[in-house]
Each structure stands twice: as C-alpha cells, then as structure tokens.
Amino acid sequence: MPSTVTEMAVSLWKNLLQTTKERILQQRRMSLYNGAHGYDEELLKKKLQQFVGGSINLFKEDNGIGILTLNNPKLMNAFTGTMMVELQERVTELENWKDGKGLIIYGAGNTFCSGSDLNAVKALSNSQDGMNMCMFMQNTLTRLMRLPLISVALVQGKAVGGGAELTTACDFRLMTPGSEIRFVHKHMGLVPGWGGAARLVRIVGGGAALQLLSGAAKVDPERALHLGLSEETLSSSDETRALEEAQAWLSQYTEGPASVIQAVKKVVTAGRELPVEAALRTEKDIFGTVWGGPANLQALVRRPKHK
Ligand SMILES: CC[C@H](C(=O)O)C(=O)SCCNC(=O)CCNC(=O)[C@H](O)C(C)(C)COP(=O)(O)OP(=O)(O)OC[C@H]1O[C@@H](n2cnc3c(N)ncnc32)[C@H](O)[C@@H]1OP(=O)(O)O
C-alpha cells in the first residue's frame, strides 16, 4: 500500500497509464465482426485448416523490424486456408511485440502474392463460407493495419487479387523494377472482399480506385508512384538486395525508442480512422503514455537542438 502522498500520486499515475494502455490495446484488437454479424470464427477456422500448404513466417530482428514472409512459392504465394489462419496468429504475435517498431511483408521466390488459393476458394464458394472468409480476412487485415508498427509491403513480381488487397493494409508500398499490383477481382466476377477497396480509396482517392478496380489494370511501379500507391521504386529486383533496400528505407522512420515509434503510429492510426474529436482524445491518451517517459526525460536532459 502506498503511504506518502507522492507514492499515492505515482501509484495513481501508473494505474492511469496502465488503464490507458489496456484501452488502446483493446481498441486495436477489437474485431470488426463477431457472432452478432452471423460470423462463426471457430467454424470457419476448422474449414480453413482443411486447405493446407505454404506458411507465414515471422522473424523479429533485434533492431525492432519484423520480416513477415508469405511462403507458398509454388502457387505464387497464394493464400491457402492454413496460411490465412497463420497470418492471424502472426498478427497476434506482432500485437504483443513490445520492442517492435517496423514490419516488412514480402513474398518468397521473388513474387508477392496471387490472392487466395483458387482451390480453396472453389471449395468454399457457397455464400456463407464466402462471407465468413471475407469477415475473417477483414478482421485480420484491419488488425494488421492498426499494428503500432510502421509497415511496408515489399512488392516484387506480382501482387494480384487478395495480394493487391494485402499491400493496402500496410502503411507503405515499395516496388521493385518489373513488379505489378493488380486488382483482378472484376475478372473473377468479384469485388475486393479483404477490405482492399475501402483502403485503396483512402490511398489513391475515389476516382483512381474506381479506375483500378473497374479496369482490373496492371499497375507498374511508375504508375503506382504517380498515383501515390507506391512510395518508391527500389533499384534491385533481386530478393536479398530488395529486402536490404526496403530495410534501409524503413530504418529512416524506425530510428528511436520503440515506445515513441509505436506512439507515432498510434496517433496516425487514430487520425486516419476516427472522427476528429475522438482522434484528438485518443491523441491525448497516447501523449500521456510518452510524456514524462524515459525518452522524453532523457531528451530534456540532453536538450538537443533541431537544426
Ligand atoms: C478477395 C480475394 C479474392 C478471392 O479469392 O476472394 C482473390 O484473391 S481473387 C484473385 C485470385 N487470384 C487469381 O485469380 C490469380 C490467378 N493466377 C494468375 O493470374 C497467374 O497465375 C499469376 C498472374 C498470379 C502468375 O502468372 P505466371 O505466369 O507468372 O505464373 P503461373 O500462372 O504459371 O503460376 C504458377 C503456378 O501457380 C498457380 N497459381 C497462381 N496463382 C494461384 C492462385 N491464386 N491459386 C492457386 N494457384 C495459383 C498457377 O496455377 C500455376 O500452377 P500450375 O500448376 O503450374 O498451373
């Protein structure tokens, strides 16, 4: 039990900080869909587990950058059922990564991802399974988008269908020479269902999104840059070199303590997603987690000049 007034104040402040952190974490994890939407996640997961193959691998580097690999190169890294479930597991792992600052998503074998595995999709083509898969992937990709990490999709080769949608769940896209992003859904008699349309409109605007979806056009690095869909065209399309380039690009934004980088991403997420008053209140809460924190106190001692 705290005895002095100072100890009580410190204990109160710690409790407040903890509650704020828990509330922010809870908001981030909150799923878009649950039982109230007719969504039965456990049932869907059982079905997805029947479509095996490939893997989603996560390597957490000491510098706070996570490397997430879509690994099913035989099928151009198409998402099998087990890969969908694994992606959800990796996102949970990333949500709990205290030292994380950044994330790079890329595909094995010099290509990004060709969407969902058409073999699985065929077997799940009834409307209830389709809706459940759509809700499952929207939940996962929304959580991915809201991770307190600065995320980059490294697009080599092709990002097609659901693969194109996945790139839009990242904060940034970097493309290698000769690569393409293509929303082919129209040619499959579909529209995006993994949240890709909603996110694309926010990235490139309504007009350009309409053109890309209705034209199912191949977007090369030059057009992607022009549209603001990609940040930069890397110089190498070699897997190892492109990954090094992407890491170097990302490091300019991830330098500094994890607590501060994570707070930066959280205020931007709030600004992107919430009405302005709610975003301001969230910003205040997040500010409270860094104000008077170790990085802030050290900076006050150092008194750096920002010339
Ligand atoms: C909401 C998401 C949405 C949904 O399903 O609901 C989607 O994701 S829709 C989009 C689904 N994806 C596709 O329709 C892609 C179909 N594939 C292709 O167009 C091409 O394969 C392409 C452009 C990705 C790559 O072409 P490339 O010439 O470079 O390679 P191959 O065609 O020879 O492909 C090698 C090998 O991979 C198999 N493959 C590729 N993508 C898929 C896929 N999505 N599912 C299953 N299998 C896939 C392809 O059939 C080849 O295998 P093979 O045994 O040699 O025929």
181, 155 in Cβ contact below 8 A? yes
286, 267 in Cβ contact below 8 A? yes
- What span, in angstroms and rounded, lies between the C-alpha atoms of 147 and 95? 6
What DSSP assignment string belongs to 216-247?
T-EE-HHHHHHHTS-SEE-S--SHHHHHHHHH
For the range 68-73, what are the long-range contacts, defined as Cβ-Cβ under 8 Å and sequence gap of 24 or more?
Answer: 68/94, 68/103, 68/104, 68/105, 68/106, 69/106, 69/107, 69/108, 70/105, 70/106, 70/107, 70/108, 70/112, 70/113, 71/107, 71/108, 72/108, 72/117, 73/107, 73/108, 73/109, 73/111
Span 171-215, pLDDT tens digits: 999 999 999 999 999 999 999 999 999 999 999 999 999 999 999
Report the atom number in ligand 1 closest to the C-alpha of 134: 1
Q: Indicate if the alpha-carbon torsion angle 95, 98, 102, 106 is positive or negative.
A: negative
The rounded Å distance from CA 117 to ligand 1 centre is 7
Running DSSP on this structure, what letter comes out for residue 5? H
The residue whose CA has the least distance to atom 48 of ligand 1 is 75
pLDDT of residue 270: 97
For residue 54 and ligand 1, the question of a CB distance below 6 A is answered with no
229, 203 in Cβ contact below 8 A? yes
For residue 278 and ligand 1, the question of a CB distance below 6 A is answered with no
For residue 112 and ligand 1, the question of a CB distance below 6 A is answered with no
The mean pLDDT of 156-176, rounded to a whole number, is 98
pLDDT of residue 88: 97
The mean pLDDT of 255-261, rounded to a whole number, is 97
Which token pair is 5?
């007034």
The answer to whether residue 2 scores a pLDDT higher than 60 is: no
Span 105-131, pLDDT tens digits: 999 999 999 999 999 888 888 989 999
For residue 75 and ligand 1, the question of a CB distance below 6 A is answered with yes
The rounded Å distance from CA 54 to ligand 1 centre is 14
pLDDT of residue 194: 98
The rounded Å distance from CA 118 to ligand 1 centre is 7
The answer to whether residue 24 scores a pLDDT higher than 80 is: no
What DSSP assignment string belongs to 21-81?
HHHHHHHHH--S--GGGT--HHHHHHHHTTS---EEEEEE-TTSEEEEEEE-GGGTT-B-H
Which token pair is 216?
């199912």
Span 58-113, pLDDT tens digits: 999 999 999 999 999 999 999 999 999 999 999 999 999 999 999 999 999 999 99
For residue 76 and ligand 1, the question of a CB distance below 6 A is answered with yes
The residue whose CA has the least distance to atom 47 of ligand 1 is 75
The rounded Å distance from CA 142 to ligand 1 centre is 24
pTM here? 0.92
Tell me the ipTM for this assembly: 0.97
The answer to whether residue 254 scores a pLDDT higher than 90 is: yes
At 140, phi and psi to the nearest 5? -65, -45
Our mutation pick for probing the ligand 1 site, out of 111, 112, 114, counting the most ligand atoms within 8 A of Cβ, is: 114
25, 95 in Cβ contact below 8 A? yes
Percent of the chain at pLDDT exceeding 90: 83
For residue 78 and ligand 1, the question of a CB distance below 6 A is answered with yes
